[in-house]
Amino acid sequence: MPQFPSFSADPKELPATSEGSETAAMAEESAFTRQEQLLRRVQELEEEVKRLQEKLREDKEGAGRRGAPSAPGKVKKRQQRPFNFGAHGRRHVALKIAYLGWGYQGFASQENTSNTIEEKLFEALKKTRLVDDRQTSNYHRCGRTDKGVSAFGQVISLDLRSNLSEGKKLNGHEGDSEGRSEGEEELRYTHILNRVLPPDIRVLAWAPVEPDFSARFSCLKRTYRYFFPCADLDVALMHAAAQSMAIEFPLVLYDCEFENLQWLYDREVQEFNVTHLQQLWANHAVKTQVLHNMLGGLDAAPMATGKSPGNSTPILWGDMKPPLRSQVSGFVEGVKARTYKPLLARPKCEGLEARIRHFVRRGRIATPWGLEVGGDGDEQPPETKRSHCSDAPGSGHATEQPPKRVCVDLE
């Protein structure tokens, strides 16, 4: 086999580096540096892509939150700046109001319910920033109506926010009838309030009044009217009875009369109110006609005249005498008695003096000064519950039961 010369691996024994080897080393180092720079640049670009993708995702989520409806209970209420009533003038005005009271618990505010006309009015007044609160509004009402009672001409008076200058707001009768002065225009009170009031409560008109005007004490007369089907009622007798007593339904506060009060009507508001009432009337009129036709259909039903249907000639229900007229029964509250008894002939509750005499005779109380007990003087007072209980063995102080109010027939 041929012999090859061997070389030592010791660097000390290697020959000196030539010029060609030095150039190759420099090229290698330069290539390594460029590779590091490229890797660094790639990493930077990847980080930039991630950052842009994150930003794009956040923008999409934000747009979705703005477009989607907010979940209940998670809505952040915008902080509202408190309204500065001191920066605005005020004036004393009267408002003419109509309402259908069938669905309300009366006109005046009550502690146990917020379903009253007055509560709805002040909710609208405060929402529109026409008043700050009821206590500082100098508020008066002409009359209060009970549960279920409606009104066509209820009147209230109070101080409302005004756009007019100081001289105009103090004296409502200054200037022209529109409540305007040069360069000034008063707020459209009826338009503002009707936009937020329930549809069955309408402000019809407003009037500028003097600062000392009161809807309650300045009223000259109030007119109430009853609306009911005539049927077989004695209207003349009812008219006489209505002078001394009133019922809740269908009573209506028809009008309130004042001296020198000029109501201002807004044409746009008037058109809206008339349209609304016409639509409401048409709705009920159609329902009424449907019921009328149903009754007409029942009038054609054949009915037996005798107790035995087979042995009697049938007669149409509409031809039966006397005709059945029960329209008014729907307006009468309470349970109808089997036999009618006049009001003044019905049992009456005992008065205070009768109750005092009762307890004096029973020995419960002493005879008050100036009260005549009457009756048999020899009558001994019966044994009281207190004395009876005190004799029982083991009994302490007996608790006397309060007396019950009893109705008696004084015939």
Cβ count near 248 (within 10 Å):
14
- Spatial contact of 376 and 320, defined as CB atoms under 8 Å apart: no
CA distances from 362 to 331, 348, 381, 398, 402 (A): 44, 22, 5, 17, 14
Q: Is 146 a catalytic residue?
A: yes
Per DSSP (E only), the strands in 231-355 are 251-257, 302-304, 314-316, 348-349
**Residue 62: both structure tokens together:** 């934000």
Specify the residue for token string 């640049």: 41
204 neighbors 273 (Cβ within 8 angstroms): yes
Residue-by-residue DSSP string for 68-100: SPPPTT------PPPP-GGGSEEEEEEEEEEE-
CA angle 294, 298, 299 (to 5 degrees): 115
Instruction: Give the DSSP letter string of 374-397.
Output: -S-TTPPPPPPHHHHHHTSTT--S
Catalytic annotation, pick one of 132, 146, 200, 255: 146
Element (H, E) at 237: helix 235-241
Q: Residue 278 has which token pair? A: 């016409």
- The CA radius of gyration of the chain, in Å to the nearest whole number, is 46
Least Cα distance to 370 among 382, 353, 358, 355 occurs for 353
d(C-alpha 203, C-alpha 273), whole Å: 9
Dmax over CA atoms of the chain, in Å, equals 170
**Which residues are part of the catalytic machinery?**
146
